[in-house]
Amino acid sequence: MILFPAIDLKDGQCVRLKLGDMDQATVYNPDPAAQALAFEEQGFEWLHVVDLNGAFAGETVNGAAVDAILKATKNPVQLGGGIRTLEHIENWLTRGLARVILGTVAVRDPALVIEACRKFPGKVAVGIDARGGKVAVEGWAEASELGVIELAKKFEGAGVSAIIYTDIDRDGILTGINWASTLELADAVSIPVIASGGLASMDDIRRMVAPDARKLEGAISGRALYDGRIDPQEALDLIRAARKA
């Protein structure tokens, strides 16, 4: 059970979006590397990073900021946004990422994801972002006809290290994680699932460590951490206690 603090990158800065809308961005820190170090010093064990510009462009845009983050923190870092080819994947893993997150390409070219898992075992996660139960792609700008579980099942047995499931309708608006859909996904596949989108308060952390949610690998927190709605020490203490239970 891991609480992943999130750094979303837009134009080289650490921001949070509302409902995935690039025009509704709040800048939380102009120095993402400093933010990464702050999360490490607070006791977090992982870092979740998204290149928002890259997700729309289909290629890395905030590479310099990601490199700075990798230099600043000793924590493992997972990165999503604009990673669409085996060359992209290999490049980022060589630069020090712990794992890449493949989203749009998981819909467009599932065979590439399976090949990446074979070539880079343990280093590939799949990001499934859904609006109204249907998977969205291209930085959430386009909807597909694929259902969440339908897509996830394509990667059973492929060696995907985790599925990061985001309910776009809750992202950045602090309404709480969609636990019903997240746990339904976790029940449907053997791949570890990470909850994302809407984590709002310590109530979500308490829900995260409830017995039925312990099948999850963890959850991602963005705005609630930046706004002080989640106390890092209290949250991490709850998670550590749950690990021992």
Residues classed as catalytic = 8, 129
Is 183:213 a contact under the CB 8 Å cutoff? Answer: yes
Residue 9 class from Cβ within 10 Å (0-12 exposed, 13-18 middle, 19+ buried)?
Answer: buried
Number of Cβ within a 10 Å radius of residue 80: 25
User: Using CA atoms, how far apart are residues 194 and 216, in angstroms rounded to an integer?
Assistant: 6
Please state the separation of Cα 122 from the chain's center in Å. Answer: 16
Q: What are phi and psi of 149, to 5 degrees?
A: -70, -35
